[in-house]
Every structure is written in structure tokens, then in C-alpha cells.
């Protein structure tokens, strides 16, 4: 199925109806209502109208991915997001996994429990490694201070495994994100609970654990989004991963500023 343009919300609704049989098949395995899902998709467009300016195939690829994973498109659910990004190839819509969606997929994969916490400078916090690893975390009752790191824990087969990342490590992950400078990126939205910090700790933890098909696919697509790729629909209406995400071309002033910063960072050599 090929869509050439989406000019209005009405056009979007009509195109969404054309995908209803595909969505119904994907949602049936998740036990979810296709009509409710489609209404949530329409509400998403009302919340982020700039999605109508995105390449339609990238937009519907994100919607189909959400349906396949059985995750809600509602921005309030925190399960997943479809966000618009400016690229050299025009506007693209990008699916991204949310923290709550990550935890939902973990539970579906058979783990017993999962949780993540942010550590702040006035908390009492320590890590014990070795043959009997453990975390001790006592949050300060008031004035916890600035965030210094985050950890994620999973209980599987009666055993708790965990991963801690300090602020520098988390910021290094953010720095690798091609979408880090977009105002629509979850890294840059109002996030007092630092969900992205928690999600990042979870992603590092599950690298060493067995993963179900849906969880593996969700992580792959989320990594694709973070590292500069995108998902798209082919002419058969199937979701494909494409490495086509590119940052917008810098303006002349931005290029001059970049050269000026590089020049200022060079230390003059003494004779």
C-alpha cells in the first residue's frame, strides 16, 4: 500500500482505515481492540499535529510497530512514542520505546519483577560486587540533591540481577543518540522522574539476559532510532528497518560557530 500525502486529520483517518485489516491481525494476538487502538492513533495526531508533515510510510510503520508489540500510543501511557524529526530527507516519524513499555515487555517475557530507580547525591547508596552482589539504596527523606546515576533490577528464576550506570555513562549513551538535539526527543522533554535514565539502565541490563521475540525486536528498533536509523513500510505494507535518519543540514551561522569552537579548542604550540 502506498500513501503519497497526508494533508489533514481526515486524510490520516482515511489512510488509517485502509490499514485496519493489518492492524486487526497484529492486535488479535495481543488481545487488544483495533477500534480503541485506532482511536488512540487519531488522538496522537491531534496531540502532535506535526506528524502529519512526516513521510507517511514512516508514520504508519511506527503505528504498525506499536500494534505488533501491543503497546499503547497514548503519550500519557509512557509505553511508546511516535515522534517527528527533521532530516535532510524531510520530516520522518520515528517509533521509540518508552520506559513503561520496556517494563511491560519484560513482564511478558516471563520475568518475575522489574524496577528501576534514580540515585541522587544525598541518598545513601552502595554497591557490593563479587559472589554475593547487592545494592543498598536509602533515598534521602528531603532535599535528595541532583541525580548521580540510575540502576535497574530484574528478578528472574528467583534471583535478582542489576545494572548501575553513573551520570557520565548515561550521558555518554545520550551523546550517541542522533536525535538528542530534537525538541521532540524524550531526552529533552520535561522529565522530573528521569524515565530515560531508568530506561537506559534497563537496556544495559538486558544485554546479558535471554529475551523474547517481541522484546528483542523492540530493543532493536529503539536502538535503530537512537543511533540514527528509521523504520519504514515497503510497498507490501511490511515494516522494514532503514538507516536513513540524518540530522538537518547546518546553517551557515552554525557552521561558522562550529569552526570557531574548534579553533578555540586548539592549544597553541610553544616554540
Query: At 125, is the pLDDT very low, low, confident or very high (cuts 50, 70, 90)?
Result: very high
Looking at every residue in the chain, the average pLDDT score rounds to 82
Q: Which residue has the higher pLDDT, 53 or 260?
A: 53
Cα 176 to Cα 44: distance, rounded to the nearest angstrom: 27
How are beta strands 239-242 and 134-138 bridged, if at all? Answer: unpaired
**Could you tell me which residue, 263 or 102, shows the higher pLDDT?**
102
The per-residue pLDDT for 88 is: 74
Output the pTM of the full model: 0.77
Cα atoms found within 13 Å of the Cα of residue 27, Cβ hemisphere only? 20
Return the bridge partners of 124, or none.
138
Taking 70 as the threshold, does the pLDDT of residue 265 lie above it?
no
Domain region containing 162: 110-210
Grid cell locating 238: 511490511
Per-residue pLDDT at 27: 92
Surface-to-core class of residue 27, CB atoms within 10 Å of its CB (0-12 exposed, 13-18 middle, 19+ buried): buried
Do 144 and 155 fall within a single domain?
Answer: yes
The three cell numbers of residue 82 are: 511516535
Q: How confident is the model at residue 257 (pLDDT cuts 50, 70, 90)?
A: low
- Is 117 within a domain? yes
Q: Establish if 73 belongs to a structural domain.
A: yes
Instruction: Please check whether residues 93 and 216 belong to one and the same domain.
Output: yes
Q: Report how many domains make up the chain.
A: 2
Task: List Cα–Cα distances, 50 to 7, 36, 160, 166, 271, in angstroms.
Answer: 11, 22, 43, 35, 56
Amino acid at each position: 500500500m502506498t500513501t503519497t500525502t497526508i494533508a489533514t486529520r481526515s486524510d490520516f483517518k482515511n489512510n488509517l482505515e485502509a490499514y485496519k485489516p493489518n492492524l486487526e491481525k497484529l492486535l488479535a494476538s495481543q488481545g487488544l481492540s483495533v477500534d480503541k487502538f485506532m482511536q488512540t492513533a487519531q488522538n496522537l495526531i491531534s496531540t502532535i499535529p506535526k506528524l502529519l508533515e512526516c513521510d507517511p510510510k514512516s508514520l504508519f510503520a511506527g503505528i504498525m510497530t506499536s500494534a505488533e508489540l501491543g503497546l499503547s500510543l497514548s503519550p500519557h501511557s509512557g509505553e511508546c512514542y511516535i515522534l517527528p524529526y527533521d532530516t535532510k530527507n524531510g520530516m520522518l516519524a520515528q517509533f521509540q520505546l518508552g520506559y513503561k513499555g520496556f517494563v511491560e515487555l519484560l513482564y511478558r517475557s516471563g520475568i518475575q519483577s522489574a524496577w528501576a530507580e534514580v540515585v541522587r547525591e544525598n541518598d545513601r547508596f552502595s554497591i557490593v560486587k563479587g559472589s554475593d552482589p547487592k545494592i543498598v539504596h536509602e533515598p534521602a527523606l528531603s532535599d535528595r540533591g541532583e541525580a548521580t546515576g540510575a540502576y535497574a533490577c530484574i528478578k528472574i528464576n528467583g534471583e535478582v540481577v542489576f545494572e548501575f550506570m553513573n551520570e557520565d555513562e548515561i550521558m555518554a549513551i545520550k551523546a550517541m543518540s542522533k536525535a538528542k538535539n530534537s525538541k521532540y526527543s524524550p531526552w529533552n522533554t520535561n522529565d522530573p522522574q528521569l524515565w530515560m535514565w531508568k530506561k537506559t539502565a534497563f537496556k544495559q541490563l538486558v544485554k546479558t539476559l535471554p529475551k523474547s521475540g517481541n522484546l528483542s525486536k523492540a530493543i532493536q528498533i529503539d536502538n535503530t532510532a537512537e543511533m540514527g536509523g528509521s523504520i519504514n513500510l515497503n510497498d507490501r505494507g511490511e515494516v522494514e528497518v532503514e538507516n536513513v535518519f540524518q540530522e538537518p543540514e547546518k546553517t551557515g551561522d552554525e557552521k561558522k560557530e562550529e569552526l570557531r569552537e574548534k579553533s578555540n579548542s586548539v592549544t597553541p604550540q610553544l616554540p
